[in-house]
Structure 1
Amino acid sequence: MIDLDETDRAILRALAGDATLSAGALGRQLGLSQPATWRRIRRLTEAGALAGRRLVLDRAALGFGVTVFLGVTLAAKGRVSLEDFERAVSAIPEVQTVQHVLGLYDYRLRVVARDIADFERVLRRRIMTLPGVGAVDANVLLSEERRPGPL
């Protein structure tokens, strides 16, 4: 674990809000020089505190109006390896996240689709045919509150 001071935390907060900020712009915002800001960003990256920068797409604006969370229980955990299931499900473009979880399900998937009919097609033709899939439980996302920022 990396030790963070207030300046490091301010850098993380600023980048979480706008990852496109240059070191110079970020430094001006925080009262640091560009080289000092760059050194801190490099140190945070090398320590693993910054694991990359991500572009956030507006799914609805791109025509993907439905998000469904699926709880997947594997039928026979001994017959199909977890790696086989993970590899197969990760190859489906509509599956945005694959989470191996402990509890009622073996996996939690976030699936996007254009509409409910499109989701049904993805579910029937792609997800239910994956190796080892036993039971699937679906929850349709109605709304989402996002709280941007570091932990």
Structure 2
Amino acid sequence: MDHLDLDRFDKAILTTLAEEGRISIADLARRIGLSKSPTQARLRKLERDGTIRGYRAILDPIQLGLDHVAFVEVKMSSTSEAALAKFNAAAASVPEIEQVHLIAGNFDYLLKVRTADMRAYRRVLAEKISTLPGMSSTSTYVAMEAVKEDGLADVT
């Protein structure tokens, strides 16, 4: 995959928007040290080329009653491209699965699953995760506390 050459203004735009997605163009321009027109042009380019994939509200899962986080190691019975594609599509359709990562290691996938409590997690595991195509076994790790979960990466 080709990476873009981002200058300090592009990086400043990305860092600012990652922290404060609803900032106005005028405030963004002021913060990064450019006028509105070039800031807006750079922002549109970053959106067009896919560096900025979209904007959304960051919801507080605790306020929504989704306190329970489990990480699930998944071992597959087959790692053929067809088997992985079927698993990917099915896992992506399970709303309780927040993240799906294909892993190089002793297992094949790592899932982040968020539910209201252990009872709800056990139901999701039994009725949804365990029925995903191609799955051989799972191991569950329950998170006690989220230390960092902001999703912000350093673009500098």
In structure 2, C-alpha distance between the alignment counterparts of 1:76 and 1:45, rounded to whole Å: 37
Alignment partner, residue 106 of structure 2: 104
Alignment partner, residue 46 of structure 2: 44
Residue ranges of structure 2 left out of the alignment (5+ in a row)? none
In structure 2, C-alpha distance between the alignment counterparts of 1:38 and 1:55, rounded to whole Å: 21
User: How far apart are 1:120 and its partner, in Å?
Assistant: 0.4
Confirm or deny that 1:90 pairs with 2:72: no
Q: What's the CA shift string for 1:75-127, capped at 9, x where partnerless?
A: 2446x721111111211110111111211111111101100010001001111
SS of 2:131's equivalent in the other structure is coil
**Residues 68, 140 of structure 1: 8 Å contact kept:** yes
In structure 2, C-alpha distance between the alignment counterparts of 1:114 and 1:146, rounded to whole Å: 18
In structure 2, C-alpha distance between the alignment counterparts of 1:47 and 1:150, rounded to whole Å: 19
Root mean square deviation of aligned Cα: 1.8
In structure 2, C-alpha distance between the alignment counterparts of 1:52 and 1:5, rounded to whole Å: 21
User: How far apart are 1:149 and its partner, in Å?
Assistant: 4.4
In structure 2, C-alpha distance between the alignment counterparts of 1:88 and 1:149, rounded to whole Å: 28
Provide the TM-score with structure 2 as the length reference.
Answer: 0.86
Alignment partner, residue 143 of structure 2: 141
User: How far apart are 1:48 and its partner, in Å?
Assistant: 2.9
**Residues 10, 30 of structure 1: 8 Å contact kept:** yes
1:55-70 correspondence to structure 2 within 5 Å:
55-70=57-72
SS of 1:72's equivalent in the other structure is strand
SS of 2:10's equivalent in the other structure is helix
SS of 1:63's equivalent in the other structure is coil
Aligned residue type for 1:129: T
User: How far apart are 1:68 and its partner, in Å?
Assistant: 0.6
Aligned residue type for 1:115: D
In structure 2, C-alpha distance between the alignment counterparts of 1:11 and 1:117, rounded to whole Å: 43
**Residues 71, 105 of structure 1: 8 Å contact kept:** yes
In structure 2, C-alpha distance between the alignment counterparts of 1:4 and 1:76, rounded to whole Å: 40
Aligned residues: 150
In structure 2, C-alpha distance between the alignment counterparts of 1:72 and 1:125, rounded to whole Å: 15
Alignment partner, residue 122 of structure 1: 124
Aligned residue type for 1:19: G
Q: What's the CA shift string for 1:119-139, capped at 9, x where partnerless?
A: 001001111122221110111
User: How far apart are 1:38 and its partner, in Å?
Assistant: 0.2
